[in-house]
Copies of this chain bind each other. A is one copy, B any other.
Amino acid sequence: MRSSAKRAPRPSPSASWDNPLDQLLGYQLRRASFAMLSDLSAGIGKLDLRITEMSVLMVIHANPDISQSDIGRVLGIQRANMVPLITQLERRTLVSRGETRGRAQSLRLTPEGEALVRRCREAIAEHEARYTKLFSPKERQDLLRCLPRIWQDDMLPEESDL
């Protein structure tokens, strides 16, 4: 089930092909993102969690009584896709639904959920450490400073929207 951590058969040392995408920022982001996702997925998978599930737990932990829709807004997940996520986490008694404000339900972690979040944090720390050591402190800081510009403040569209 779990996609085991990248274990490429050591890219064939013989022929070397030209990759015309190498100088594209988007391509580099995609490959880098995929590599880190795979690595984290392996670590988190030992807790029988997927990355999105883990992310949801972390957000609820940091924001008790947040609603399902708001979690989606924080993480960039659509309302409709939050439903099976929360259902599953509730089924595992990691999350519980509390009072309802309007139609919204406030979500909290169960003690079991809190415990799992702590284990997630350890796994994440190990994971991040593996990659952080690839960079100087300044390089890492620059990455964390630059990357949010790409997706936050959502890129004023060129075309005016009348």
Which residues does A use to contact B, with CB under 8 Å?
5-8, 10-12, 15, 17-37, 39-40, 55, 58-59, 61-63, 66, 70, 73-76, 124, 127-128, 130-132, 134-135, 139-140, 142-144, 146-151, 154-155, 157-158
Contact = CB atoms under 8 A, between A and B. Distances in A.
A158 to B, nearest CB: 7
Main DSSP-derived SS at the A contact region: helix
B142 A26 contact: no
A28 B59 contact: no
A89 to B, nearest CB: 16
Contacts of A147: 28-29, 31-32
Contacts of A75: 19, 21
